[in-house]
């Protein structure tokens, strides 16, 4: 029983991003780049149209978010960002793995 509880506690703290950054980069290019730009710093034209300021995905603010928080933003949307639909859990994890490689 103790080992089961310990395993559950350890698993709860494990990151979701078991996916691959290479696969995530390809998915990001297809599904995210139009708004977030190739480097995750944002597309100025989209930002102007939506009247928003993009926070670079490589910034400390974004990188400090947990994988669970990033998954929620990707799958449910936030603010003017709409949910990204049609992705499997593995694909979302791959995108998160790629986002983790971005620099400010």
d(CA 99, CA 40): 8
41-98 pLDDT, tens digit each: 999 999 999 999 999 999 999 999 999 999 999 999 999 999 999 999 999 999 999 9
Over 60: is that where the pLDDT of 8 sits? no
Over 80: is that where the pLDDT of 38 sits? yes
pTM of the model: 0.80
Over 60: is that where the pLDDT of 15 sits? no
Average pLDDT over residues 2-13: 47
Superfamily of 17-99 according to CATH: Cytochrome c-like domain (1.10.760.10)
Q: Which residues contact 70 (CB under 8 A, 6 or more apart)?
A: 62, 96, 99
Q: Which residues contact 40 (CB under 8 A, 6 or more apart)?
A: 28, 56, 57, 58, 99, 102
């Amino acid at each position: 029983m103790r080992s089961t509880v310990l395993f559950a506690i350890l698993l709860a703290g494990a990151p979701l991003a078991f996916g691959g950054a290479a696969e995530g980069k390809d998915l990001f290019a297809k599904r995210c780049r139009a708004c977030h730009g190739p480097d995750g710093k944002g597309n100025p034209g989209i930002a102007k149209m939506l009247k928003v300021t993009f926070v670079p995905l490589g910034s400390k603010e974004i990188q400090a978010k947990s994988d669970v928080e990033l998954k929620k933003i990707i799958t449910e949307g936030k603010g003017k960002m709409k949910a990204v639909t049609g992705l499997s859990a593995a694909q979302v994890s791959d995108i998160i793995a790629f986002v983790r490689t971005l620099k400010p």
